[in-house]
Structures are given as structure tokens and as C-alpha cells.
Amino acid sequence: MRNGEEEGAEEGRGQGEEKRGGGGGGRAGNGPMPLMGLNHISRLCKSVEASIDFYTKLLGFVLVERPPAFESFTGAWLYNYGVGIHLVQKQEQGQHSHVDPSPEKLEPMDNHISFQCEDMEAIEERLKERKIEYLKRTVDGEEGSAVDQLFFKDPDGFMIEICNCENLKLVPAGPPGWIRPPRGRRSPPVLSDHPGDSS
């Protein structure tokens, strides 16, 4: 193919085709990735209202406004602790999330999200007050660094873990990598009408 044709083909690709990234090249191979942390998780819900009640009253998440572009479907955004939870109302009968909603089946090896906690007893008391079934266990680490865990499910059967995993040291299993602690990470500005609150 001649140079002019090659240039034309490249031009056409830029206009009409979406170029998908592959492996190799870029910053990934030369240094730490420019990732800052987990932004949000998204949950498909049987009842958005029930999930709002669960995550706000039990785990202290705060209901925040959604951008107008997302108002075409029923849902809600929650935020706290540097992470968002996006709730989406389940619409169709065939829409499901492949989870077992039965609270008695609490298997720590199942898929779950985990929240760091500085007062495990306070969370356990909340679970008892709301009569939520939970599994409690302690995992012994090296040098007596025990980790306490609480496992329970939200109204749609999604597994949640609460733990004090800061007791465990992060030791790279191979050559030293670029582990970036969340220290100093930027969070979305918080707008508030309450006197004395700052964003």
C-alpha cells in the first residue's frame, strides 16, 4: 500500500472506528498506574427505597443528588467513606444479579464488598438492633495480628463484610510494586447548606 493510502486508512480509522486499547505501552509498564481508589459500586435492586434505608441507617451512607442525565431510570446515589454506591431499580423479570438472598447462607468465600471499620462492636450492635442475621469470625494472622470480620447481606442478598483489616500488613508477594495508600487522595467536594459545614 502506498504512503498516501496508508495515511487515508489511518484517517478513516480515526473518524469512524473506536480504537480499543490492548496490552503493552503507556504508563502501565513504566510506573504506577494513575488510579486513585475505588469510586463506586453499582447494585441492581428489587427496591431502591429498601436499599437506601439499609445503607443509610445501618452503614451511615448519605443520599446524594444524581446528575439529571441519570433521571431516565429509577435509582439513587449514596456516598460516604470515600466511596459511592449506585442503586438501580430492577425493572425486568429476567434481570437478576446471581445472588442468593437467603440470610442464613453466609459464606465468607462468596463475592462480597468489604468496609474497613474502627469499632466492630458498634456495627455488631446495629446489626442486632435491626435483627439482621450475621456471621462473626476472627482470623488469626502472623505475630498475633488477628482480624475480626462480620458478614451479612443487604436486602437484595449482596454479601457485605465489615472488618478491621488494618491489623494485617501488606507484603508484596513478588518484586516491590507501586502500592498507593489512599493518603491525600482527592474526594468529591461536598456541598452543604448547614451552617458550619465546609466542603
pLDDT by residue (tens digit) across 144-180? 677 888 999 999 999 999 988 777 676 666 665 565 6
Domain boundaries, the chain: 37-92, 103-170
For the chain, which residues score pLDDT lower than 70? 1-36, 92-104, 141-144, 168, 170-199
In sequence order, the 6+-apart residues with CB closer than 8 A to the CB of 157 are 97, 99, 100, 101, 102
Going across the sheet that includes 83-89, the strands are: 40-45, 83-89, 75-80, 62-64
pLDDT of residue 145: 72
Residues in the chain: 199
Q: Are the folds of 37-92 and 103-170 the same? A: yes
pLDDT of residue 92: 57
37-92, which class in CATH? alpha beta
CB 113, CB 160: distance < 8 Å: yes
Q: Cα–Cα distance between 89 and 46 in angstroms, integer?
A: 6
Query: Which CATH number applies to 103-170: 3.10.180.10, 3.90.1170.50, 1.20.1250.20, 3.30.390.50?
Result: 3.10.180.10
Return the active site residues: 161
Q: Cα–Cα distance between 11 and 3 in angstroms, integer?
A: 12
Please name the residue that has the C-alpha cell 470515600: 82
